[in-house]
Structure 1
Amino acid sequence: MRKNRPKNLDLATVKFPITATASILHRVSGIIVFIALAIFLSLLSCSLSSQPDFYRVVGYFDNFLIEFVMWGCLTGLAYHAVFGVRHMIQDLGFWEEMDTASLSAKVGFIVTAVLSLLAGVLVW
């Protein structure tokens, strides 16, 4: 039995709901946090090995690219934490309807934007 339904193979035209976007970005931020953990631990290890190494690590933060990477890591961590809490609340049975899930995703994006701005102030 053949189904004659339209097929849209152009992924650029697919419009995801905000809840799907939030979920996909939560997975991406998990990868960012995993990579950031390696960066943070290597910087910590280097800074604790000796006093000259500590000053070398402090000197890294004079570079804009390093500061930008640190800001990106902190933003990814903030996003993952905010939406992780949102997912745990949904696991408890709340915010499962589409309207409340969409509202919680929008609030999560706003909270993450505020935390990202605060991380930018902290880094720069």
Structure 2
Amino acid sequence: MQKSRPKHLDLPKIRLPIPGFVSILHRVSGAVLFLALPAVLFLLDGSLRSSTQFEDFRSFIAHPVIKLGLIGLLWAYLHHACAGIRFLFLDIHKGVDLHTARLTAKVVMFVSLALTVMIGGVLW
């Protein structure tokens, strides 16, 4: 029996469900956190060396573009943590049915964005 499969996939037309977005964003946020870790550690190390360098650090992170980047890192951390908890439950076969999986994916997206707005608003 021969199946007729498409010769190419039109990726923009494929509709990815929300659990798929959560999974992809979990991987992306992990990669972003991993790649940003050396820069963040360098900045924090410099801020602890002397009071002069601490003031330089404060003036550096006062720039709005840097603040947006740090809020992006905050979102990456919060999304990665929330999605990681969700995936731990999926690993022990809790919430694997379709309705629950979609609901928990929506909860992860909402909670990570809400926490980012709340914490980012306080830190801005």
The residue aligned with 1:93 is 93
The residue aligned with 1:121 is 121
Provide the TM-score with structure 1 as the length reference.
0.92
Whole-angstrom CA distance in 1 between matches of 2:7 and 2:97: 28
Whole-angstrom CA distance in 2 between matches of 1:21 and 1:32: 16
Instruction: Provide the aligned C-alpha RMSD in A.
Output: 1.5
Cα offset for 1:2? Answer: 4.5
Answer yes or no: is the 8 Å Cα contact 1:75–1:112 preserved in 2: yes
Identity %: 37
Whole-angstrom CA distance in 2 between matches of 1:7 and 1:103: 34
Equivalent residue letter for 1:13? K
Whole-angstrom CA distance in 2 between matches of 1:119 and 1:17: 28
In structure 2, the gaps of 5 or more residues are none
Say how many residue pairs are matched. 124
Structure 1 runs of 4+ with >4 Å offset: none
The residue aligned with 2:83 is 83
Q: 5 Å matches for 1:1-124?
A: 2-124=2-124
In structure 1, the gaps of 5 or more residues are none
Provide the TM-score with structure 2 as the length reference.
0.92
Whole-angstrom CA distance in 1 between matches of 2:26 and 2:35: 14
Whole-angstrom CA distance in 2 between matches of 1:32 and 1:118: 21
